[in-house]
């Protein structure tokens, strides 16, 4: 019995020694940090002259943005906010309470300026404005990303502008926005043509990707309107604010590799600058299944400038390098040169005519003929492009 008691006393003594050592180490580290901070503050005060503001303290290295494990309702202003947890029933939202991710939120019976705001992290929040709804994707324990699902109405995200890429995404049935930072706004609705979403970046940036198109980066004050038909066979993109690049999928082709002497598959794309009033249309059609095979999707991609004139038109079959039209909008390389020579020749003819009346008739006749040729050319081009798309 005495031996067991002595062993317990020895273990307790050892534990006390370990705790004492740990406390001593913490005290030493704390004193060193205090000394370093004091010396830094002294150096700052010495280097700062009167009337100058001291430099801001640097952000501690290794500090990462962290999401809350649950989202918290921080504001309800007007309307009735309700939430439906995954697999649960609708219940009224109470301001200040926490709710699980994977839930759907809606704001109903609301005025146009009514708002419900949910905090998801430090200086990070999701808001619904007016009669709107959104959902969040269910997360696993310790997951470091969050996804917002657009449902209806207006949904706004307010995130740190220094947020790292890949942490927050916004998904709709037709596209996904990734790498969000700063403030962005999404307006969802239904039109006679199908689903319509207006994506606007207020501050910060984001990237956007849908089927057969990708916007690499939208910056502050950039806005795009995306409309998708109910069967998802027609997509329309229209620029409304700012200039940004849209990469359009144009199928694949095979080329001969000069190094290996073998054919290799090369993806074809169009980099189109989407400015206000410029547009992109993508038509899709699934071909009929052949005997023993599966139907493939035929795709036509067309771009328009601000005047409505087509700039690009391409058609292809998905995953078929031998069925690719290439560029169908043909612009003659010497068109400008030919036009210049034609105008020069017309001017020389006018100078040779002595009578002013005849000169006027010749000039007006040549100009009207040129305008008629140009109008016929534009009409033929605009007619041919939709016909090719309809054929798909």
Give the model's pLDDT for residue 256.
86
Q: Read off the pTM.
A: 0.69
Q: Which of 329, 356, 373 is the last residue of a domain?
A: 329
Pairing of strands 115-121, 67-77: antiparallel
Residue with the larger pLDDT of the pair 390 and 95: 95
Query: CA–CA separation, 136 vs 103, rounded Å?
Result: 6
What average pLDDT does this structure show over 22-47?
A: 40
Whether residues 340 and 302 fall in one domain = no
Residue with the larger pLDDT of the pair 276 and 78: 276
Whether residues 293 and 339 fall in one domain = no
Residue 112 lies in a domain: yes
Whether residues 196 and 314 fall in one domain = yes
Binned at pLDDT 50, 70 and 90, residue 261 comes out as confident
Whether residues 322 and 228 fall in one domain = yes
What average pLDDT does this structure show over 265-294?
A: 86
Binned at pLDDT 50, 70 and 90, residue 375 comes out as very low
C-beta of residue 209 within 8 angstroms of C-beta of residue 178 = yes
Sign for the pseudo-dihedral over CA of 170, 243, 196, 153: positive
Indicate if the pLDDT at residue 352 is higher than 70. no
Whether residues 69 and 108 fall in one domain = yes
Compute the mean pLDDT over every residue in the chain, rounded to the nearest whole number.
78
Q: Which of 277, 307, 329 is the last residue of a domain?
A: 329
Indicate if the pLDDT at residue 356 is higher than 80. no
Whether residues 357 and 244 fall in one domain = no
Say how many domains are in the chain. 3
What average pLDDT does this structure show over 225-249?
A: 97
Give the model's pLDDT for residue 225.
98
Whether residues 132 and 199 fall in one domain = no
Can you give the residue range of the structural domain that contains 89? 65-158
Task: List phi, psi (to 5°) of 34.
Answer: -65, -45
């Amino acid at each position: 019995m005495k031996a067991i008691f002595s062993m317990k006393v020895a273990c307790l003594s050892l534990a006390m020694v370990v705790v004492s050592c740990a406390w001593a180490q913490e005290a030493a580290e704390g004193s060193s940090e205090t000394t370093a901070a004091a010396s830094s503050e002294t150096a700052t005060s010495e280097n700062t002259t009167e009337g100058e503001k001291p430099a801001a303290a640097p952000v501690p290295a290794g500090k990462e943005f962290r999401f809350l494990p649950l989202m918290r309702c921080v504001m309800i202003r007007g309307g009735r906010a309700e939430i439906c947890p995954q697999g649960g029933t609708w219940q009224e939202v109470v301001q200040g309470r926490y709710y699980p991710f994977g839930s759907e939120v809606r704001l109903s019976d609301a005025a146009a300026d009514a708002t419900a705001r949910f905090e998801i992290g430090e200086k990070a929040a999701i808001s619904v404005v007016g009669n709107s709804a959104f959902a969040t994707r269910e997360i696993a324990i310790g997951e470091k990303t969050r996804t917002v699902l657009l449902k209806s109405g207006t949904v706004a995200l307010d995130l740190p502008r220094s947020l790292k890429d890949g942490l927050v995404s916004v998904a709709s049935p037709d596209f996904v926005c990734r790498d969000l930072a700063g403030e962005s706004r999404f307006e969802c609705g239904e039109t006679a043509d199908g689903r319509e979403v207006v994506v606007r970046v207020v501050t910060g940036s984001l990237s956007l990707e849908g089927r057969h198109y990708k916007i690499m980066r939208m910056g502050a004050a950039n806005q795009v309107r995306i409309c998708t038909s109910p069967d998802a066979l027609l997509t329309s993109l229209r620029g409304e604010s700012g200039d940004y690049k849209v990469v359009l999928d144009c199928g694949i082709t095979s080329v001969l590799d000069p190094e290996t002497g073998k054919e290799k598959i090369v993806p074809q794309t169009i980099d189109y600058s989407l400015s206000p009033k410029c547009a992109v249309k993508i038509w899709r059609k699934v071909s009929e299944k052949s005997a023993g095979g599966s139907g493939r999707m035929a795709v036509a991609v067309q771009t328009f400038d601000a005047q409505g004139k087509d700039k690009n038109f391409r058609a292809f079959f998905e995953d078929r390098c031998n069925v690719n039209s290439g560029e169908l909008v043909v612009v003659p390389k010497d068109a400008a040169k030919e036009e210049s020579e034609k105008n020069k020749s017309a001017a020389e003819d006018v100078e040779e005519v002595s009578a002013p009346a005849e000169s006027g008739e010749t000039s007006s006749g040549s100009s009207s003929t040129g305008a008629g040729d140009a109008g016929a050319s534009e009409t033929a081009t605009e007619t041919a492009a939709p016909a090719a798309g309809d054929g798909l």
